[in-house]
Structure 1
Amino acid sequence: MNHRPLIGVSSYLDQAAWGVWNQRAALIPHSYISAVTRAGGVAVLLPPQESGALEAIASVDGLVLAGGPDLDPGNYGQDPHPRTGAPNLERDDWEFALLGEALRQRIPVLGVCRGMQLMNVAMGGQLVQHLPDDLGDQGHQPAPATFGEQTVRVRPASRLATIVGTDPVPVRCYHHQAVAKIGRDLLPAAWCGDETVEAVEMADRDFVVGVQWHPEADPGDNRLFDALVEAAAKNADTREAETR
């Protein structure tokens, strides 16, 4: 390919303050941008908007569905739990549209935390709305803005295993929700010690992987982003060959 892979990163559209300004802004933690650039890609922010998912996905070589707020439980047919965060319908709709186009156009996808949950719900799955109710502890989200430290085991016969191996993997997570019912066409790819599903993937795609942890928060382990950018480069080569 004649350019570095362009990686679309879904983002927040929230009230933010900088300099003398305080207004709605499209933003994402810089750790996502750093992870993409370390892997050799170019990050492109894809903030929520009313339309344009088709064109956005046609313009990028890979997609990161970033972490963020809880999904609206109405998306999977449930009423909200008292501890479920206020829905962000604008972001939900936009990211469902991005994922739908990414699958249709067959570009690589990495879902991170909320992104993995959105992948699962988009495929007809359901979520546990407040994991401490089931586990009796808050080990996956110990305190505000504090990552939980977990160790996950990876299914040997998985795409994820070709990226991170099959030895136990220490990860940083920050989630109080998790997969309950796995969506169609998805397979579990990793679990932590309490049996919470920590990764899913599509077996019939080269790279459609979701992880419940935050790989962008660990600059010492960039393997997932490296694999995404590598898959995106191959995808771009295929697209270019088909248009010749």
Structure 2
Amino acid sequence: MSAPVIGLTTYREPAAWGVWQQPADLLPAQYADAVTATGGLPVLLPPVAGTGAADAVVARLDGLVVTGGADVDPARYGAEPHPRTAGWRPDRDAWEAALLDAAAAARLPVLGVCRGMQLMAVHAGGELDQHTPDLVGHDEHSPGGDEFGTLEVSTEPGSRLAALVGTSLEVSCHHHQSVRTHPGFTAVARATDGTLEAMELPGDRFCLAVQWHPETATDVGLLAGLVRAASSYSTARGRPTSA
């Protein structure tokens, strides 16, 4: 049975393993495991500079996941950093923006996860709220440390998202920022406190983003949906998927 190739963007961070302490390209294994479990073939995409690099990569993919990570650079949406905004990586921002441009041109299926949703909104000309607790008065979206928050999310009836995950679901999240505006995208899920938790592009192309982490859940309906869309994309282009 063939498997569509799914690109996963990565961190580039100082890391230690064995006797080594070096910059490394990193991503929690849950992403690749979830893609594999739903029938895809995961490929890691570390930040790359250079004209044409993103187009060359996208030409070899059947689907793309813009993964979670550090805050998006506030300069990308014309804002000064909030005191709690930290750790942005201009190289990763630029690489993922280039991948999104190439993916849009090729109509490649795309799923954004957490930071991925925020980057996609900013790339579309939107803005972020830099510290969600300022708006909602609690830290349930990101309890701190390496813990995920647990939230109940309601989806928009008739949306692609609702068809994949149902009318409501409990999700694992870890975000202190959230999307304020999202030009071109439709809001398709919110938490009970009103925070936008998902958006999707209208039309036939699979282009969807969520603030939560579907790769951590036993129900990986979102990733399964992406893999199905990637398989159809590959077939439509007449390109054989990997065996």
TM-score bracket for this pair, using the shorter chain length: over 0.9
Q: Give the aligned partner of residue 223 of structure 2.
A: 225
Cα deviation, 1:162-190, whole Å, max 9, x if unaligned, reads 10111x200000000001122x2100010
Q: Give the aligned partner of residue 213 of structure 2.
A: 214
Q: Does 1:16 align with 2:15?
A: yes
Q: Give the aligned partner of residue 125 of structure 2.
A: 124
- Secondary structure of the 1:60 match is coil
- Secondary structure of the 2:70 match is coil
- Secondary structure of the 2:170 match is strand
Distance in 2 (CA, whole Å) between partners of 1:29 and 1:205 is 30
Which of structure 1's runs of 4+ aligned residues deviate more than 6 A? none
Letter of the 2:214 counterpart:
P
Q: Give the aligned partner of residue 169 of structure 2.
A: 169
* Same amino acid, percent of matched pairs: 47
Deviation at 1:157, TM superposition (A): 1.9
CA RMSD in angstroms comes to 1.0
Distance in 2 (CA, whole Å) between partners of 1:128 and 1:53 is 28
Aligned residues: 237
Deviation at 1:222, TM superposition (A): 1.1
Distance in 1 (CA, whole Å) between partners of 2:77 and 2:30 is 30
Q: Give the aligned partner of residue 200 of structure 1.
A: 199
Q: Give the aligned partner of residue 4 of structure 1.
A: 3
Q: Give the aligned partner of residue 49 of structure 2.
A: 50
Q: Give the aligned partner of residue 154 of structure 1.
A: 155
The answer to whether the 8 Å contact 2:11/2:92 transfers is yes
- Secondary structure of the 1:225 match is helix
Letter of the 2:40 counterpart:
G
Q: Give the aligned partner of residue 29 of structure 1.
A: 28
Deviation at 1:19, TM superposition (A): 1.0
Distance in 1 (CA, whole Å) between partners of 2:128 and 2:204 is 23
Letter of the 2:160 counterpart:
R
Q: Give the aligned partner of residue 188 of structure 1.
A: 187
Distance in 2 (CA, whole Å) between partners of 1:79 and 1:128 is 11
Q: Give the aligned partner of residue 232 of structure 2.
A: 234
- Secondary structure of the 2:32 match is helix
Letter of the 1:195 counterpart:
G
Cα deviation, 1:16-69, whole Å, max 9, x if unaligned, reads 111111101111000000000001100000000113100111001000000000
Distance in 1 (CA, whole Å) between partners of 2:187 and 2:39 is 28
Distance in 1 (CA, whole Å) between partners of 2:105 and 2:147 is 36
Cα deviation, 1:123-153, whole Å, max 9, x if unaligned, reads 1110000011111111100111110000100
- Secondary structure of the 1:59 match is coil
Deviation at 1:87, TM superposition (A): 1.9
Unaligned runs of 5+ in 1: none
TM-score by length of 1: 0.95
Deviation at 1:206, TM superposition (A): 2.6
Deviation at 1:205, TM superposition (A): 3.6
Distance in 2 (CA, whole Å) between partners of 1:58 and 1:108 is 12
Cα deviation, 1:216-240, whole Å, max 9, x if unaligned, reads 011x111111110000000000111
- Secondary structure of the 1:200 match is strand
Q: Give the aligned partner of residue 178 of structure 2.
A: 178
TM-score by length of 2: 0.95
Distance in 2 (CA, whole Å) between partners of 1:15 and 1:58 is 30
Deviation at 1:86, TM superposition (A): 2.8
Q: Give the aligned partner of residue 70 of structure 1.
A: 71
Distance in 2 (CA, whole Å) between partners of 1:31 and 1:200 is 22
Q: Give the aligned partner of residue 95 of structure 1.
A: 96
- Secondary structure of the 1:181 match is coil
